[in-house]
Amino acid sequence: MNSGKIKFWGTRGTFPIAKTDMLKYGGNTSCIEVISPSSEQKDSSVIIDGGSGIVGYGDQAWEKGIRNYHIIFSHTHYDHILGFTKFLPLFQQNSHISIYGQTKNGLTIKDIFEKFFSFPFFPVTYKNLSAKLTFQEIKHGESTVINDIEFSFQSLNHPQKALGIKGMFKNKDSFVYATDHEHGTPLDNELSTFCQKSNLLIYDSSFCNENFKLGWGHSTSSQGALLAKKSDCKSLGIFHHEPDSSDEILEKILLPQAQDIFPDSFLCMEGRTFNLSTLLYDDLLTT
């Protein structure tokens, strides 16, 4: 494999769903795997966000023999961390998990996880977790390198703060993960600069034009399309599907509203792997 890839383990926003008319594009909440050529040769993996999608990822990764995990959190609202309570590697002694996140109101990312795994929220307390855990602070404007991928960070417009995350691979392919974000502030211009010429923009498209809710900290597929077009991105992944959005709503309303502005838009689908060089899901590649 010579190109970077993104595997979608969770694409839903707010909370997981299991309705039969909403499962084509996924019912699990936010979680993506960032796959580099070097990561496939190492006992190491990079994940962004720990929504319920991380449960399936953790089971598969552990079975494959991966023992080192890097997990970057855009923010720590419940839908982005709830899967951590059933993340298999967290409960294994020979597992090493590096966690990256922001300090919030004086609480470090370690403080936040200690509170999350505490009475009365969860029966296993932080000090009783089996894995070896390390923590690293990440901030707007800074960057770090993991598995030969350079990750940089951009503030987003969301209650209690969130970070957009850009991954740049050695071959200069790149993606931006920008969820959760509400358009309409000066941060939009910063985000556009941050996204410039990315192969893939994964964008908070919780709403369509007709049901957008001001002040909720989320955006629309059409705003994602405008951002992708302005930023000269190669493709737009519509992400963070609302729990009320059926497959039909996604296909007949949100997707067309984006494609009318930016034709290279698609619906992020749980379980699929997107190739940053071909700009296709791997299972759509032809030989």
Question: 3-state class of 187 per DSSP?
Answer: helix
pLDDT at 233: 98
Asked if the model's pLDDT at residue 221 lies above 90, the reply is yes
Average pLDDT over residues 237-253: 96
**5-284 domain in CATH 3.60.15.10?**
yes
Choose between 213 and 72: higher pLDDT. Answer: 72
Q: What is the DSSP letter of 12?
A: B
* Distance between CA atoms of residues 174 and 161, nearest Å: 23
Per-residue CA distances from 119 to 115, 116, 122, 244 (Å): 8, 9, 6, 32
| % of the chain residues with pLDDT over 90 | 88
Asked if the model's pLDDT at residue 2 lies above 90, the reply is no
Asked if the model's pLDDT at residue 194 lies above 60, the reply is yes
pLDDT at 192: 98
Contact yes or no for 69/49 (Cβ under 8 A): no
Average pLDDT over residues 230-245: 96
Sequence ranges of the domains in the chain: 5-284
pLDDT at 286: 46
Asked if the model's pLDDT at residue 284 lies above 70, the reply is no
**Can you read off the two tokens belonging to residue 113?**
């996880």
Radius of gyration of the chain (CA): 18
pLDDT at 215: 76
* Distance between CA atoms of residues 236 and 206, nearest Å: 14
Contact yes or no for 10/25 (Cβ under 8 A): no
Pairing of strands 132-137, 143-146: unpaired
Asked if the model's pLDDT at residue 172 lies above 90, the reply is yes
* Distance between CA atoms of residues 138 and 103, nearest Å: 8
Average pLDDT of the chain? Answer: 94
pLDDT at 211: 82
Average pLDDT over residues 228-238: 98
CA atoms within 13 Å, Cβ hemisphere of 269: 16
pLDDT at 287: 38
Q: What angle do CA 10, 14, 15 make, to 5 degrees?
A: 70
pLDDT in tens, 62-103: 999 999 999 999 999 999 999 999 999 999 999 999 999 999
pLDDT at 285: 53
* Distance between CA atoms of residues 193 and 49, nearest Å: 23
Write phi, then psi, for 79 (nearest 5 degrees).
-70, -10
pLDDT in tens, 132-162: 999 999 999 999 999 999 999 999 998 889 9
Asked if the model's pLDDT at residue 109 lies above 50, the reply is yes
Write phi, then psi, for 47 (nearest 5 degrees).
-125, 145
* Distance between CA atoms of residues 60 and 97, nearest Å: 16
* Distance between CA atoms of residues 260 and 253, nearest Å: 11
